[in-house]
Amino acid sequence: MLEVGTKAPSFTLPDADGNPVSLSDFAGRRVVLYFYPRDNTPGCTRQACAFGASYQGFKDSNTVVIGVSKDSVASHRKFADKYELPFILLADPELQVIQAYGVWQEKKNYGKVSMGVVRSTYIIAPDGTIEKVMPKVKPDTNAAEILEYLQSKGE
């Protein structure tokens, strides 16, 4: 995982419509960059829906929400449509950004060890540095914790 104060790695990935989206597109704005394992799984769906339900709060604080997984553009389109997700979903099937942000890690599930995306969130400051690192977040509380953090900063 990256550390607070370091420059956020730049990237360009396709969104749910196949359009390229770059971190630099949001220079001067705060970005919530959250990484999740897979579209349409129970935890990931709850997390995405919580961000969707809280989206106005993020907009009010001039904060961009971006979800990243290794799913395809087509998978993201279906996921976003099914749950009416108002924020950006980026496809990273080659794991470029997932690895750059250190969230591709060894996971243990029922005694089986495999590599996968560890559900994690970064808050990137308007100057492009990492402001907050949230490793191994819980899908049900992640969005609310971030909004609370933003409000505590008077954002």
Distance CA 58, CA 114 (A): 34
Task: Examine residue 12 and state whether it is found in any structural domain, yes or no.
Answer: no
What's this model's pTM, rounded to 2 decimal places?
A: 0.95
Average the pLDDT over each of 101-110, 118-127, 138-147 and give the range with the smallest value.
Answer: 101-110
The two beta strands, 120-124 and 130-134, are antiparallel
Distance CA 134, CA 85 (A): 22
Task: Examine residue 5 and state whether it is found in any structural domain, yes or no.
Answer: no
Q: Write the CATH number for 118.
A: 3.40.30.10
pLDDT, tens digit, 9 for 90 and up, residues 6-51: 999 999 999 999 999 999 999 999 999 999 999 999 999 999 999 9
Phi, psi (deg, nearest 5) at residue 14: -80, 145
Instruction: Tell me how many domains the chain contains.
Output: 1
44 is catalytic: yes
pLDDT, tens digit, 9 for 90 and up, residues 50-109: 999 999 999 999 999 999 999 999 999 999 999 999 999 999 999 999 999 999 999 888
**From 33, 44, 85, 97, active-site residue:** 44
